[in-house]
Amino acid sequence: MRFFITLVITVLSSFCVRAQDVQARHSRYLDRAEVQHVANSVTVTANSPRPLAQSLTALSEEYSWVIDFEDPPYYSRYDLVDDTDPKWRAANPAAKGVTVVAGDTFQSQFVMNSDTGTSAADEERILSKIVSDYNESGNPGKFSVRKEGDGRFAVVGTQVKDENGQSQSVNSILDTPISVREETRDAYKTIEAILNAVSAETHINVFLGMTAQNALFQTQVTVGGESTPARVLLLRTLSAAKIKLYWRLYHDHDAQMYMLNVLPLRKANYDASGNRTTVLVR
Amino acid sequence: MRKHITALMMLLLGGTGIAHAQCITYSLGYDVYSSESFDNIQVGAGGPVPGYGSVAISGNEQSAQICTHHLAGGDCETYRTAYDSGTVSITVNGVYVSTSYGEGSTASTIASALVTAINSTPGTLVVASANGSAVLLTAKATGVGTNYTLSSTSSTSQPATFGGPSFSSSPSGSVLVGGSATSDLVHTITSVLVDGSASMTLDQSAPGCTEPEYGNLVAELPYATHTPLAYNVVNGVGGWGSGSSECVTCYLSVQTTEDSGPVNYGVSIPFTSGGEVDCSVGGIIWDPIVIGNIPVCVIPTTEYTAVQGTEATTETQFVQTIFDTAGDNFNGRTVTESDAAPGQDTCWFQGSTVDKYTGMTGGSWIVDSGQTAGQPNAWGYDVVGWSTAAITYYRQQAAAHNTTIPCSLTGYQALTISCPAGNAAIYTSATGNTLMATINQTSVVNRRNDITSTASQTITY
């Protein structure tokens, strides 16, 4: 009997501690990263499961930069954290829980002259500084900046931690060479064809998540190729759209898949009281 | 606005010698009268606007006979003509600009010289143009801060001879007006009138056409033909126009047997039968307040939405049809979406691999074109819904992340329509159309609440 009571207390204690952990982590998350300007110094502060992606979205909206982002395939307890809702866990004690990427607070500071933002070189310098700061921050994954041409950059995951906590190099799934028949389709169907080819080639599902659907359905493109990196075909497809689009490729270890989100570029505007709204960049 | 034309046609014919119809063929236009408010018409650019004002120059160059040699008795033996000289100045926001006047000057030449001086002086904050003897001033920047101070002076260099300057200057006010962060130059046209037209063609060779009937008709011909005049009232101010710039373009709707097409100054448009006419206004009109041409944009007042079909298994194609009370044709104009308010997403959770829905997705459609080609006044498809992968993901993952199904994305869609002058006007309400896509356990519901109607589609998935 004493053993049983001890076991119950231990389980309940563990449950309460985990519940508090989840709640505390969630309470720290920001809805969006904050960008603060002091003279020519800019500070970006993020807190989310993917704080680097959150930072890049904020900078993208601040300066109308087109920045793609790609998760590496996180899988270890060093990069993921349990996110199972305690009530759901209590109701489903035998079910597998859910995780999220174990990101937390991230802050980076950089110098920005008044004319910065018109130069791709400046943008690359700033993105490199941010990614370098992130790689030193202890948050999950390591990333690198890639030039994609036409003023566009991608921040791509290059390392994850293995189950021993050791760094492991990884390739982006969008670098996978694929073959897609060249034909004229709308951009939405073209992206689906590209992702289906990636899934078939890698045996990892890659799906379309949130999209700028009206922009994609209204864009007719003729895209295809043999043994061409998926990223190249994606870039060709998006370049035909009438509005500026960028992607967010997120990995989900629980569902064993990637989700590609193709989103419209937005620009942040502030009124005299500092209230922030965003508008589509056309 | 509705007007029966037949009676007017007869009035016009009354003085044209219709009794001699065997000698003539005729065509008739119409008279269109309106006194109702056209609340579906926006006037103005819609964006931030600059302050504006004017300075009116008036007067005539003065001259005087000056005696150059007096006789002993004091009478004058010889004279010379002296002309007044002086300066006229305008000061905008502390920047002073002036021009001289003298022999040969007129109010118009002074206005023109002041325009040149203003536009070539460094530091001036306004652009000047001349309209006859008036100097029109428009701030180079926009916003409330561009309602700069305005003053003007004139003086003579020969006060002893002329008493005062030949020319006076009158500013429109002590400051420029109209400068605003958003356009307040949205006027409501409260009255439009287009006078009618009638014309005759004489045919002396027609059977039965003999003198003196033919000669009488020739004499009457000038009185039987006239062309439209336009009257417009903007913000309660206006009047008859006599120039082409003051003539509205009136688009007539087709209601069964009526005429359609633009009514332009000096152009006679024949009609085939009498009936009712609805009129709306487009093109450029003369604004007596701003003193200049301003664009007019006819916008829809109603929009119906309907489900057209399904896209990508779980998304819905909606087609919209737009109207106004005059039944105008909006074909070829571009409808563009933006956010009336930020979007909402109750499915999303921190760490989700489906990005959060934040608003409109970049649609832009040409009316009666693309996927709605052949459907007058229709635009689309506006696609609303979740991708299949997002639906599956949220159904499998949301609950464990403390997010409940059903959940939804909601967007607030503001729509603009392109205007003939090149700008665009919003025609949806301040809250916009509400677009919603809901994920249920075994179905999705895509809904579009539009200005005039609501449509939704339930898809089992």
Q: With an 8 Å Cβ cutoff, are A98 and B397 in contact? A: yes
Residues in chain B with CB shorter than 8 Å from the CB of A265 are: none
Weakest mean pLDDT among B46-55, B245-254, B398-407: B245-254
Question: Which residue is closest to A277 within chain B, CA to CA?
Answer: B342
Let me know whether B316 and B430 are in one domain.
yes
User: Per CATH, which fold does A172-266 belong to?
Assistant: Phage tail protein beta-alpha-beta fold (3.55.50)
Q: With an 8 Å Cβ cutoff, are B355 and A280 in contact? A: no
Final residue of a structural domain among B137, B171, B205: B171
The CATH code of the domain that includes B313 is: 2.60.40
Tell me whether B390 touches chain A (CB under 8 Å): yes
Let me know whether B210 and B239 are in one domain.
yes
Q: Which pLDDT does position B117 carry in this prediction?
A: 93
Let me know whether B249 and B377 are in one domain.
no
Residues in chain B with CB shorter than 8 Å from the CB of A48 are: 350-351
pLDDT at A116 over 80: no
Q: Which pLDDT does position B243 carry in this prediction?
A: 40
Euclidean distance between CA atoms A26 and B352, whole angstroms: 13
Q: Which residue has the higher pLDDT, B146 or A189?
A: A189
Let me know whether B207 and B158 are in one domain.
no
Domain housing B378 = 302-460
Q: With an 8 Å Cβ cutoff, are A208 and B387 in contact? A: yes
Q: Which of residues 362-381 of B touch A (CB under 8 A)?
A: 362-365, 370, 381
Whether B1 maps to a domain, the answer reads: no
Tell me whether B350 touches chain A (CB under 8 Å): yes
C-beta atoms surrounding A209 within 10 Å: 23
Q: Which pLDDT does position B203 carry in this prediction?
A: 79
Q: Which pLDDT does position B330 carry in this prediction?
A: 87
Over residues B231-256, the mean pLDDT reads 42
The tens digit of pLDDT for each residue in B167-197 reads 999 998 899 876 765 543 444 444 444 444 4
ipTM of the complex model: 0.92
Q: Which pLDDT does position A106 carry in this prediction?
A: 98
Option in B315, B337, B350 nearest A100 (CB): B350
Whether B176 maps to a domain, the answer reads: no
Tell me whether A141 touches chain B (CB under 8 Å): no
Report chain A's mean pLDDT, rounded to a whole number: 91
Residues in chain A with CB shorter than 8 Å from the CB of B357 are: 210
Helix/strand/coil for B355: coil
Let me know whether B403 and B356 are in one domain.
yes
Weakest mean pLDDT among A110-124, A203-217, B102-116, B214-228: B214-228
Q: Which pLDDT does position B271 carry in this prediction?
A: 36
Option in A97, A251, A280 nearest B362 (CB): A280
Let me know whether B226 and B363 are in one domain.
no
Tell me whether B311 touches chain A (CB under 8 Å): yes
Let me know whether B319 and B403 are in one domain.
yes
Whether B23 maps to a domain, the answer reads: yes
Q: With an 8 Å Cβ cutoff, are B353 and A97 in contact? A: no
Q: Which pLDDT does position B280 carry in this prediction?
A: 52
- The minimum CA-CA distance between B446 and chain A, rounded to whole Å, is 14
* Strands of the sheet with B86-92, listed across from one edge: B95-101, B86-92, B150-156
**How would residue B157 be classed by pLDDT, with cut points 50, 70 and 90?**
very high
The pair of structure tokens assigned to A34 is: 């904050």
Q: Which pLDDT does position B68 carry in this prediction?
A: 86
**How would residue B48 be classed by pLDDT, with cut points 50, 70 and 90?**
low
Let me know whether B335 and B271 are in one domain.
no
Euclidean distance between CA atoms B46 and A202, whole angstroms: 52
Q: With an 8 Å Cβ cutoff, are A210 and B363 in contact? A: no
Let me know whether B129 and B244 are in one domain.
no
The tens digit of pLDDT for each residue in A43-85 reads 999 999 999 999 999 999 999 999 999 999 999 999 999 999 9
Tell me whether B323 touches chain A (CB under 8 Å): no
Size of interface A-B (CB pairs under 8 A): 127
Handedness of CA B373, B375, B380, B383 (dihedral sign): negative
Euclidean distance between CA atoms B137 and B260, whole angstroms: 39
Whether B452 maps to a domain, the answer reads: yes
Q: With an 8 Å Cβ cutoff, are A100 and B381 in contact? A: no
Tell me whether A281 touches chain B (CB under 8 Å): no
Over residues B224-251, the mean pLDDT reads 44
Residues in chain A with CB shorter than 8 Å from the CB of B424 are: none
Over residues A217-240, the mean pLDDT reads 96
Weakest mean pLDDT among A115-119, A219-223, A265-269: A115-119
The highest-confidence range among A145-159, B166-180, B313-327, by mean pLDDT, is A145-159
| B212: preceding bond cis by omega (within 30 degrees) | yes
Q: Which of B313, B315, B348, B350 to mutate to test the interface with A (most CBs of A within 10 A)?
A: B350
Euclidean distance between CA atoms B432 and B414, whole angstroms: 5
Instruction: Tell me which H or E stretch contains A253.
Output: none
Let me know whether B109 and B208 are in one domain.
no
Kindly report the backbone phi and psi dihedral angles of residue B129, in degrees, each rounded to the nearest multiple of 5, phi listed first: -145, 160
Option in B338, B357, B402 nearest A280 (CB): B338
Let me know whether B60 and B109 are in one domain.
yes
Residues in chain B with CB shorter than 8 Å from the CB of A208 are: 387, 389
Whether B179 maps to a domain, the answer reads: no
Whether B277 maps to a domain, the answer reads: yes
Helix/strand/coil for B435: strand
Let me know whether B384 and B320 are in one domain.
yes
Weakest mean pLDDT among A2-6, A206-210, B55-59: A2-6
Over residues A134-155, the mean pLDDT reads 96
Q: Which of residues 23-52 of A touch B (CB under 8 A)?
A: 26, 29, 48-50
Domain total for chain B? Answer: 3
Q: With an 8 Å Cβ cutoff, are B351 and A263 in contact? A: no
Q: With an 8 Å Cβ cutoff, are A214 and B383 in contact? A: yes
The tens digit of pLDDT for each residue in B278-318 reads 445 555 554 444 444 555 677 888 899 999 999 999 999 99
The tens digit of pLDDT for each residue in A231-245 reads 999 999 999 998 999
**Neighbour-count burial of B434, counting CB atoms closer than 10 A to its CB (0-12 exposed, 13-18 middle, 19+ buried):** middle
Q: Which residues in A91-244 belong to E strands, given as ranges?
A: 99-101, 105-111, 142-149, 152-161, 167-169, 177-186, 205-211, 220-229
Q: Which of residues 198-257 of A touch B (CB under 8 A)?
A: 207-215, 217-218, 241-243, 245, 248, 250-252, 254-255, 257
What is the reported pTM? 0.68
Q: With an 8 Å Cβ cutoff, are A210 and B315 in contact? A: no
Final residue of a structural domain among B265, B298, B331: B298
Q: With an 8 Å Cβ cutoff, are A214 and B362 in contact? A: yes
Q: Which pLDDT does position B315 carry in this prediction?
A: 97
Tokens 């061409």 -> residue = A228
- The minimum CA-CA distance between A2 and chain B, rounded to whole Å, is 33
Residue A269, C-beta contacts closer than 8 angstroms, at least 6 positions apart: A276, A277, A278, A279
Q: Which of B344, B355, B365 to mutate to test the interface with A (most CBs of A within 10 A)?
A: B355
